[in-house]
Amino acid sequence: MKGCGLCWTEAELALLDGDPALVPDEVVWQFAWEVEDHFEPDEYGPAWRRLAHRVVGLLTEDPDSRLTMGLTWAGFSHWPEAERTALYAQVTDIVLRAASDEERHKDLGELIEAAAQLDQSMVPWLRLVDTLPDEVVEHLAEEWSDCDKASSTFGTWLRWTDPTPQDEVLEWLSTR
């Protein structure tokens, strides 16, 4: 695939075109948070679809909402149904596994932000949070309690508006 010459070497672009299993983690990372117009629009979506399960692997190991921020530009809402469903299932599984492991509760907020990039909405994931054990819900409510303050890191990479991710979380907090 083609990519901007400032960010990408020919060797890295060749890797992105090849077997997804052989792309080094750091190249997958770089791909996931590259600015979208540094790739050709008609190549970016197919590349994301090839690498989706690799991004999921990174998300498991290193929760970061930047990993999924390219999904909108990758045309996720127009992907084949089976691929959309598969990615939803994988990301949901990551969230649920973190929720069931107390040592990983600190990752949950970031994971849910990453997940919300699939919908460009926090709402479906707040519904999922409502099904989790009380202590998990309490943990997230505490973490998000200052989400609308400048000091909060919540939603840094979430770009939707009207309502904003902060509005969605504040609405959820107000109805608890």
- 120 sits in the region (left: phi over 0; alpha: psi -120 to 50; else beta) called left
| Residue 60 buriedness (CB in 10 A; 0-12 / 13-18 / 19+) | middle
Closest contact distance (angstroms) between CB of 40 and Zn ion is 12
| Interface residue with Zn ion, options 4, 97, 138, 171 (CB under 5 A) | 4
Task: Write the CA distances from 1 to 7, 12, 63, 71, 79, integer angstroms.
Answer: 13, 10, 27, 18, 19
89 near Zn ion, rule: CB under 5 A: no
Cβ count near 145 (within 10 Å):
14
Count of residues in contact with Zn ion, rule CB under 5 A: 3
| Interface residue with Zn ion, options 17, 29, 38, 66 (CB under 5 A) | 38
| Interface residue with Zn ion, options 1, 7, 128, 141 (CB under 5 A) | 7
Question: In this structure, which amino acid lies at residue 23?
Answer: V
Task: Select the span of 33-41, 48-56, 87-95, 142-150 touching Zn ion (CB under 5 A).
Answer: 33-41
Closest contact distance (angstroms) between CB of 44 and Zn ion is 12
Residue closer to Zn ion, measured from CB, 4 or 89: 4
Residue closer to Zn ion, measured from CB, 17 or 167: 17
Task: List residues near Zn ion by CB under 5 A.
Answer: 4, 7, 38
